[in-house]
Amino acid sequence: YATAAAMAGAALARAARLWAMLDEMAENEPQAYRRLLRQQRAEAERFCAPPEPHLCLRARPAVGAQGLGLGSPPGGPLFINVCSWKRVPAPKTLADPTPVSAGPLEVVSGEGDLYSIIDIAYNPDVLQRGEEDPDKMEHLIHLTLKFVEKQYNLTLSYLYTIESFKLKGSLEMMQQRLKGRQLPTPRLSQDTKKELTLDDLLCTLEAKDCANPPVLLKEKSGTQSKMPLIEEISSTEMPEKQSTPVYEMNTVKDANKKPLKIELKIELPKVSSVSECDLRISKDDIVIDVPEKYKLQLDLPELVDEETTTAVFNKGKRVLVITVQVAKPDP
């Protein structure tokens, strides 16, 4: 218990330093802080993008496996939904393992039909390379089958069928199964200050120990692979439902009652620092997202210049104040 408490204390101290850095940047370096907000918005859009169906494979048990009960699929034919998901990172180089996110094996029965489904997701760039080169796609499919064999303790034939449809089952269920997985995030190797990027900060704050270690699937032959190996993404529970925070929005006007800027005050009693907040703003709306705590989406009363956005978090009152200038009318 003492060791766990010490680790928790060290993590809180590290997080506090990072929060303080963000708050200091918001006050002293507003332009750099706005750049961080834009980076955060782009990262949030990637992180929140849902998985999309790409192709569906119908796998077959290896010869003799089904009759002998050696790792055959538990429920009729096995369909593998190969999906495209921006949230899955792409390999940095062709020599690196290819990250993959996999959902649970699900047996579906109804109306006299019985079959099994597994959802596998890759970064869109990985699948795009396969679309451009059929040999690479075939190789990726064979690596996928090897991964499924090892991960789900199955014995499959390498004879497969690419179905005419892209997805077996419902889109909603596929996305729900895959969204039950969380991608690993890198940790900071050492304390830095000005050199820290927002991604580094977010990764440090959000990084969690993986429930399962990464699995690397290697080729059996000694020849060099045409495609990267596969690295599994570990799992986590679905996030809790978010609530709508209390807020107040005002339009500041000049002496001629011409709108100048919009001020939005949001009460976030469960938030410790602005670094927990994901801010996305466009010309006519704003979204505040605090994972597992709050979510607020508002239409703005005036068109704004999103490049002028500033956000300051009052840690004492737990209030986030966002200010943005009203866009100048076109000449």
Give the pLDDT of residue 72: 57
Give the pLDDT of residue 115: 87
Give the pLDDT of residue 22: 75
CA-to-CA separations, 268 to 164, 241, 265, 283, 290, in angstroms, rounded: 49, 15, 10, 24, 9
Give the pLDDT of residue 15: 74
Give the pLDDT of residue 92: 80
Phi, psi of 206 (to 5 degrees): -100, -10
Q: Residue 5: CB partners within 8 Å, gap ≥ 6?
A: none
Protein fold of 247-325: Immunoglobulin-like (2.60.40)
pLDDT along the chain (331 residues), means of 10: 65 75 77 74 69 92 51 74 89 82 85 84 91 89 89 84 91 85 40 41 41 38 45 46 85 91 92 82 88 87 88 86 87 60
DSSP string, 214-249: --EEPPSSSSPPSS--EEEPPB-PPPPPPBPPPEEE
C-beta separation of 211 from 234 below 8 A: yes
Q: What is the CA radius of gyration of the chain?
A: 24
Q: Is residue 87 helix, strand or coil?
A: coil
CA-to-CA separations, 273 to 29, 36, 194, in angstroms, rounded: 17, 15, 18
For CATH 2.60.40.790, list the domain ranges present in the chain: 247-325
Strands 78-84 and 52-61: antiparallel
Q: Which tokens go with 49?
A: 């993008």
Give the pLDDT of residue 205: 42
Give the pLDDT of residue 215: 38
Q: Which tokens go with 192?
A: 């830095």
C-beta separation of 250 from 326 below 8 A: no
